[in-house]
Amino acid sequence: MNWRHLVRPYVKTAQAMLRWRRLKFNEAPPIFGNSKPKSGSHLLWQVLNGFTSIMPYKYVEAEPVRTITREGRRRTAEEILGDLKRIPCGVIGWGYVEATPENVSFLTSRGRVTYFLYRDPRDLLVSQVFYATEMHEEHGMHAYYRSLPDFGERLKAAIIGVDQDGVRMVGVRQRYEAVLAWLATPGVCCLRYEDFIQRRQETLSAMLDEVESTGYRLPLPRAQALARLMEAIQPKKSRTFRAGKVGAWREHFTEEHKRLFKDVAGDLLMQLGYEQSNDW
């Protein structure tokens, strides 16, 4: 961790004290933004950062709470819950956490606001393959993907999963079990990445509704709050942004990819509401 990360909380807190003319930040409800990796988490981070301009929060955490470390180690339930509990009062947290009993109990406790962002699995797979192959050399799948002859073979591996030569990655159905668990969890505001792109104002309004459902009232007029959140979204400023398109999977899925996906995923797309049948 460099010195900028060390001083960031103090600088951000001082700035928030001046902006909001207060010393304590315990009025607005605690917020946590959760998502699947490669589902638009940095877009969600930008929205959460916009919240600091419309409600008295100090800042958004710079680093996410992770289920799996950057080196590929699965963290314990105690480690993850400890990270969630250590988010300071008045600070907005975010991350990639699963719907374990411990996490659900904490994140749905009274007075808290928890968002969960998910994405069409087909677009997620395409994004993950590009990211791991071309943008993040330290990714656990980088070397394996690079060993395959082309994008088509990498996409097949992402759909089916891998378990060989010390490389393990679950298939698309198992990958989305945690998503289905969050969608079935009361007290969590579930959001689709596609709605941020195609129905942005309605989606942001729903996020504000979730805040006000705790009994908290926005200090700004609703229209002004929405405008600031809209301005906060600037996808190309994200270091992980590549294309961000909805339905880009159509440019990469062959008939073989479609068949493999349907064999592995079953009715997943129907459960998530992306298709009405498996005839796509």
Are 19 and 78 in a shared domain?
yes
pLDDT at 30 over 70: yes
pLDDT tens for each residue of 142-197 = 888 888 999 999 999 999 998 887 788 899 999 999 899 999 999 999 999 999 99
Are 35 and 85 in a shared domain?
yes
Contact predicate 246/235, CB 8 Å = no
Are 162 and 26 in a shared domain?
no
In a domain, 48, yes or no: yes
Are 19 and 94 in a shared domain?
yes
Give the separation between CA 276 and CA 119, rounded to whole angstroms.
16
- Domain around 252: 122-175+242-272
**What pTM was computed for the model?**
0.91
DSSP alpha helix (H) spans, 110-252: 121-130, 142-147, 151-160, 172-175, 177-183, 193-198, 200-212, 222-232
Instruction: Give the bridge partners for 169, in sequence order.
Output: 162
End-to-end CA distance of the chain: 47
Instruction: Give the bridge partners for 74, in sequence order.
Output: 68
Confidence grade of residue 68 (pLDDT, cut at 50, 70, 90): confident
For range 105-112, the mean pLDDT: 97
In a domain, 36, yes or no: yes
Are 101 and 223 in a shared domain?
yes
Plot region of 95 (φ>0 → left; ψ -120 to 50 → alpha; else → beta): left
* Beta-carbon count within 10 A of 22 CB: 13
Query: Could you tell me the CATH number of the domain that includes residue 31?
Result: 3.40.50
Are 218 and 109 in a shared domain?
yes
Are 166 and 202 in a shared domain?
no
Are 63 and 17 in a shared domain?
yes
Contact predicate 135/119, CB 8 Å = no
pLDDT at 239 over 70: no
Q: What is the dihedral of CA 144, 146, 152, 158, to 10 degrees?
A: 30
Q: How many domains does the chain have?
A: 2
